[in-house]
Amino acid sequence: MYGFSLDRRQTTGIDTTVTHKQTQNQIDPRPYSRQVVDGVTRAPARAMLRAVGFKDADFAKPQIGIASTWANLTPCNMHIAELAREAAAGADAAGGKSVLFNTITVSDGISMGSPGMRYSLVSREVIADSIETVVGAEGFDGFVAIGGCDKNMPGCAMAIARLDRPAVFVYGGTIRPGAQRRDIVTVFEAVGARAAGTISDERLAEVERTAIPGPGSCGGMYTANTMASAIEALGLSLPGSSAQDAVSAEKRADCLRAGEAVVKLLSQGIRPRDILTRKAFENAITVVIALGGSTNAVLHLLAIANDARIKLTLDDFTRIGRKVPVLADLRPSGRYLMSELVAIGGIQPLMKMLLDGGLLHGQCLTVTGGTLAENLAGAGAYPQGQDIVLPLSRPLKAESHLVVLHGNVAPEGAVAKITGKEGETFTGRARVFEGEERATEAILAGRVRAGDVVVIRNEGPKGGPGMREMLSPTGAIIGRGLGDKVALITDGRFSGGSHGFVVGHIAPEAAVGGPIGLLRNGDRITIDALKRQIEVDLPASELRRRRAAWKPRRPAVRGVLAKYAQLVSSASTGAVTTGSGEMPSRSRPR
């Protein structure tokens, strides 16, 4: 293990004539906790810590925070308290002193389609802010962050990037499939099927009761599994962490190793921003594309890059997407569940395939202390006969399914999820709805018909506020059998479970006067994934006339939603509430 043996007299105040001095080039394993517990004047702090279990010897150890997102309000996070204890045990065994603390989570699956969904993206900022606050205030020398539900992952990674202290992210793991390979998206689509009259109330109730069998994050390549994979590709989690069942010996061992790894990173002097380079973000984008991942990855990787002080833009997704194929046949648009990918080896063989194909930067540093190429050296191949992940020579789609669009509807950009199954172009008449609920009601009632382009606006970061996900309307569209017959565009965003001809993140959003706020029923809209355009068939003079008559819509919110609306940036820059600022000094505190 990676133990540290510092003279106890230096930390408890028993002999204050002895002070710590670093030798030249020696790495201080306690750069932050030393300021909290060393010396006579820190006796009050030590007294408080003794009450929560610190012994004399603990004050000489690096303090390792364990940020847990445990909560009993969602299956994604209900098991994370146990995982946090494993991570703490790993840190303690390696010579650190672990300290457990909690941050929040909210459930997208539960709040989806309700006003509560406005808090989902907000929770990403709250999670990042709260981890930064606790780690900064308590003087932890490093930390492990464990996330389950969608916003936990980017929230944890953003905090890791901001704090730039040795840290490892651990994914809580994927849920196992329900009866007949069901998952949460099965339930949303069953609601649409019930509205269409193709299933009965009894059938819907049976789907509801059997889709979610226990702990773990939603089971397809939805946002949670997408972001876990992206973070592993970034180098912030241990190899294999992103592709494990939530309830498994492998996941418990992953947590134990993560606690050990943070202490090792301290001894090596490796910080997150040594790992979070521009090439690391390119690796993450590449893996997300190959997996057919969620559009939310665009939003979240932009946000993580902002906190890592790396310049990343929508154009980077287009540039990388031109050369990276979609290889994994995973839900929502594909056939297989994440647990089935786990069973054949997870994402390590996929990453090895991408590396060997010249599509990944193998020299990127990771939390193992080694490079990505070194980590993948022992990765095996997928078993013969599997068709979950296809070879580079026979991809599902030759270019990225994440298509960044521009045009007079989205001058700053929009993000579409085009797998090819829904077609690559769509032209139709606008059906405009102010908010998600009205659109969902109209879809379920049969008032949306083939050839419509459903426009859901005033759901952007500021206008919602909160940029809700549109799984309820997209699930209703699929359930009613309209997936290839209508398109849906919004200044909101989509669940990783959404599929069909959908375009989100339209910027500028309606609330700040973006063109989506000027659209009217019957306007002819064309979405062309090949040309990467989204256009309304109106002359610029007509758009200017409508703009002159436009009046802002002010959402009646207070509290955290109001603060978020005031601070949040455009979706085109990640919907962040923190500016890029100046790169802080990389020197450790003195």
Which of 294, 472, 495, 498 is the catalytic position?
A: 495
Q: Strands of 323-440 (E only): list them.
A: 402-405, 413-417, 425-434
Distance CA 175, CA 172 (A): 9
Q: For the chain, give the longest Cα–Cα distance.
A: 82
b/e sequence 175-200, b meaning 16+ C-beta within 10 Å: bbbbeeebbbbbbbbbbbbbbeeebe
Phi, psi of 81 (to 5 degrees): -60, -40
Please name which of 423, 229, 396, 421 lies closest in space to residue 326, comparing C-alpha atoms: 396
SS3 402: strand
Residue 526's Cα: distance from chain center in Å? 30
- Does the annotation count 495 as an active-site position? yes
Contact present, 64 and 33 (Cβ < 8 Å): no
Please name which of 251, 26, 265, 277 lies closest in space to residue 140, comparing C-alpha atoms: 265
SS3 246: coil
Distance CA 86, CA 259 (A): 8
SS3 299: helix
Distance CA 342, CA 240 (A): 9
How does DSSP assign 489-512, residue by residue?
Answer: EESSB--TT--SEEEEEEES-GGG
Please name which of 548, 339, 510 lies closest in space to residue 433, comparing C-alpha atoms: 510
Contact present, 66 and 144 (Cβ < 8 Å): yes
DSSP 21: -
Which is it for strands 487-490 and 63-68: parallel, antiparallel or unpaired?
A: unpaired
Distance CA 185, CA 221 (A): 11
Distance CA 546, CA 536 (A): 13
Spatial strand order of the sheet with 63-68 comes to: 97-102, 63-68, 142-147, 167-171
Distance CA 239, CA 4 (A): 26
Contact present, 188 and 332 (Cβ < 8 Å): no
SS3 139: coil
| Those residues with Cβ within 8 angstroms of residue 88's Cβ, 6 or more apart along the chain or in another chain | 64, 66, 98, 100, 259
b/e sequence 474-483, b meaning 16+ C-beta within 10 Å: bbbbbbbebb
Structure-block tokens of residue 94: 């390696």
Structure-block tokens of residue 58: 């603990």
- Residues labelled as active-site residues: 495
